[in-house]
Structure 1
Amino acid sequence: MSSNEHDIEANKAVARRYFEEFVNDRRLDVLEEIVATDAADETRVGPGGTGTREDFRQHAQWVWENVKDLRISVTDLVAEGDRVIVFWTIEGVHAGNIFGVPASGRPFTGRSISTLTVRDGQVVRYTVLPDRLGIIQQLVDTHL
């Protein structure tokens, strides 16, 4: 395996740990290990914004509070250079405001695609494109 291939596999491992150990297992110690102190979570700071590791913790805290029985499943990872594209599925019960929809208590499943930029074994930038419409359709009462 070449050095570049090794770096790509290492970056994919960091991305997988982000979802499986940090988000699923709620391990804040993993956040400190795999996210740079000055990393930008674009869900909190906007595209191209600057941020801190605290933004990542707040984003996860929001998910943990609004989705009961949360389970994230990484379905595919594609990487090149310092970027990892993660295809993942979220499952849980709607327990708080999500995309403007108040808690319904309904179970839902959604697919998302995240981009993580990894340097020196740590995430330095994160963004996500969730299937908002697909999730909202599961959360709202369509039998009005």
Structure 2
Amino acid sequence: MAKPSTHETNKEIVSRWWSEYWGEPNPDIVDELAADDIRWYYPLAGEVQGREEVKKRIIGYKQRFPEGRFELTDELIAEGDRVVALWEGGGTHTGRSWELPLGSLPEASGEKAQYTGTTVFTVRDGQIIEEYGQADYFGVMQQLGLIEPQTD
């Protein structure tokens, strides 16, 4: 049987990461699939480095949005050591308070946010060394009531 290409292997790693980190949060997946010094960056959430800090991010998200979910919306795209994921997700803020650059949400505010984004992963030697994402953060801030919607 033919061995999968690096692209296919990298897509399998990212697919598993997505379903176990962002789907049904399992912080232990970080120890299995991430490099010790993984870099994780989303503009709204900031940048962290290292497995323990990356685990804290998904734990913190689930403490704020306990039923929140993120799902891939298209096939993963792989080129070289990069894998690109298109996604959508969000949830209702029913958990702990949340400090954001443009304001804050009190505990269990009930505010809802659904949004889309794109994440680029770098995978080397079977481990994710970087997760860099962009999303509709302006829309998120509007949905959470932290900025006024634009009207024309």
Interval containing the TM-score (normalised by the shorter chain):
0.7 to 0.9
Cα RMSD of the aligned pairs, angstroms, is 2.6
Structure in which a larger fraction of residues adopt helix: 1
**Contact 1:108/1:135 (CA < 8 Å) preserved in 2?**
yes
**Aligned residue in 2 for 1:91:** 90
Tell me how far apart the structure 2 counterparts of residues 25 and 94 of structure 1 sit (CA, whole Å): 17
2:143 corresponds to which letter in structure 1?
A: Q
Question: Which SS does the other structure have where 1:118 is aligned?
Answer: strand
**Aligned residue in 2 for 1:136:** 141
Are positions 1:118 and 2:117 aligned together? no
Number of aligned residue pairs: 139
% identity of equivalent residues: 28
Q: TM-score, normalised by structure 1?
A: 0.82
Deviation string 1:21-60 (CA, Å, 9 cap, x unpaired) is 12222212321111011211134774xx8x3111211211
Question: Which SS does the other structure have where 2:119 is aligned?
Answer: strand
- Consecutive unaligned residues in structure 1, runs of 5 or more: none
Tell me how far apart the structure 1 counterparts of residues 8 and 36 of structure 2 sit (CA, whole Å): 22
Offset at 1:98?
A: 6.2
Tell me how far apart the structure 2 counterparts of residues 131 and 94 of structure 1 sit (CA, whole Å): 17
- Consecutive unaligned residues in structure 2, runs of 5 or more: none
**Aligned residue in 1 for 2:61:** 63
**Aligned residue in 1 for 2:13:** 14
1:138 corresponds to which letter in structure 2?
A: Q
